[in-house]
Amino acid sequence: MPLDLNSQFALHARALSVASQRMKLLADNLANADTPHYKARDIDFQAAMQTAGDGQLALQTDRPGHIPAGGNPNRAEVLYRVPEQPSMDGNTVDAQKETSAIAETAVRYQATLTFLNARIRGLRLAITGGR
């Protein structure tokens, strides 16, 4: 039975992509914490990964000339965060929430990289026989 490396790594590659996207949004939010009327944005990491796991990223095509339908599978849906207490100037950034979300995203990203490195080391060991 052949090993399908794409299926082995696709979900983790998606997790890295979504985490990277989320980190950029969170950094943008923090950078605009004092910008009037700025609306904080975020990505629902769980929903993005659920979509990836369900195979709902894009439709399959059976011929090279077919145009794939659906959005970019490497882009997660960006949402505006509902503020608990918006500021007087209309800004919805909560610096504490942003900082907490950045830390959480960094941990997820590092955990995914650690897992992928372990898988790659295991494959390398299997291929080379430990030489």
* pLDDT (tens digit per residue) in 12-25: 888 999 999 999 99
Based on the structure, what is the number of domains in the chain?
1
Q: Is the pLDDT of residue 30 over 70?
A: yes
Q: 91: how many CB neighbours lie within 10 A of its CB? A: 19
The 3-state DSSP class for residue 41 equals: strand
pLDDT of residue 60 exceeding 70, the answer is: no
Which tens digits make up the pLDDT trace of 69-121? Answer: 444 555 678 999 888 887 899 999 999 999 999 999 999 999 999 999 999 99
What is the domain extent for residue 102?
5-59+68-128
